[in-house]
């Protein structure tokens, strides 16, 4: 559904994620919004960005309108530089060759810990989730971009299980790293953001407003995902 600004929340999330990437980086990107964001950045301003898939593909070229449904799909291998096994891909992380990894989950807490394992009591969980995959490796060995819908049930004080570590239980590491709310998306107030977060937020003294998507960013995003599979 289009918002009053002319773009969806998912489109905004994709574009803002793309803006965090730099030319020359190697980025671990799963399907959906992470892959869209990485491809958008690559086409607009980061031609030297290398996209890496957990399924083993390094440097794939994603065709507009042909987004792969999983990282094991053969569409991921088009014009790829190399195709490795999953173990070899994770070894690249351990050797320091990966700069950034996109992350998501059912829960994230105030220290950046992510839960994609289960919700509720570990002895009798209410919901079982897919688990870690390569998430723990990415969170431990690369810089993280957490791209997920902002809801109070997802942004919790403490995750039910630490699948992928952030700053664990904190201490002064969060403050020392400058992890504050630096800007608000257009039309979002501090009160609305806090109401949709399960822990107290720290707002920067000079709080900015996020630059809205440009016509060029939206046009290319729609070309990459014409059926709005991930950005509706």
Residue 63 known to be catalytic: no
Q: How far apart are CA 32 and CA 211, in angstroms?
A: 23
Beta strand pairing status for 50-52 and 26-28? parallel
Collect all residues with Cβ–Cβ distance below 8 Å to 158 and sequence separation of at least 6. 109
* Torsion angle in degrees (nearest 10) through CA of 17, 223, 76, 70: 70
| 108 DSSP β-pair partners | 114, 155
For 6, phi and psi rounded to 5 degrees?
95, 10
Alpha-helix runs per DSSP H in the chain: 9-18, 33-44, 86-94, 135-141, 173-176, 190-195, 215-224
Residue with tokens 């969806």: 8
**How many whole angstroms separate alpha carbon 20 and alpha carbon 50?**
14
- Evaluate whether 26 touches 50 at the Cβ level (below 8 Å): yes
Cα torsion angle, 146, 199, 110, 21, sign: positive
Given the residues 11, 54, 63, 191, the one annotated as active site: 54
Task: Cite the active site residues.
Answer: 54
């Amino acid at each position: 559904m289009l918002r009053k600004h002319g773009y969806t929340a998912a489109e905004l999330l994709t574009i803002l994620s793309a803006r965090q990437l730099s030319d020359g980086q190697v980025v671990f990107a799963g399907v959906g919004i992470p892959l869209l964001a990485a491809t958008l950045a690559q086409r607009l301003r980061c031609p030297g960005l290398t996209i890496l898939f957990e399924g083993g593909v390094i440097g794939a070229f994603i065709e507009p309108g042909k987004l792969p449904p999983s990282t094991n799909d053969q569409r991921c291998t088009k014009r790829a530089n190399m195709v490795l096994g999953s173990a070899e891909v994770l070894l690249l992380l351990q050797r320091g060759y990966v700069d950034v990894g996109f992350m998501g989950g059912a829960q994230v807490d105030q220290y950046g810990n992510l839960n994609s394992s289960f919700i509720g009591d570990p002895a009798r969980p209410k919901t079982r989730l897919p688990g870690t995959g390569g998430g723990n490796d990415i969170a431990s060995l690369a810089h993280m971009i957490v791209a997920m819908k902002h809801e109070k049930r997802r942004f919790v004080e403490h995750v039910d299980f630490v699948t992928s570590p952030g700053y664990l239980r904190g201490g002064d590491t969060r403050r020392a790293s400058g992890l504050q709310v630096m800007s608000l998306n257009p039309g979002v107030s501090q009160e609305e953001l806090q109401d949709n977060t399960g822990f107290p937020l720290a707002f920067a003294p000079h709080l900015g407003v996020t630059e809205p998507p440009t016509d060029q960013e939206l046009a290319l995003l729609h070309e990459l995902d014409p059926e709005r599979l991930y950005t509706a």
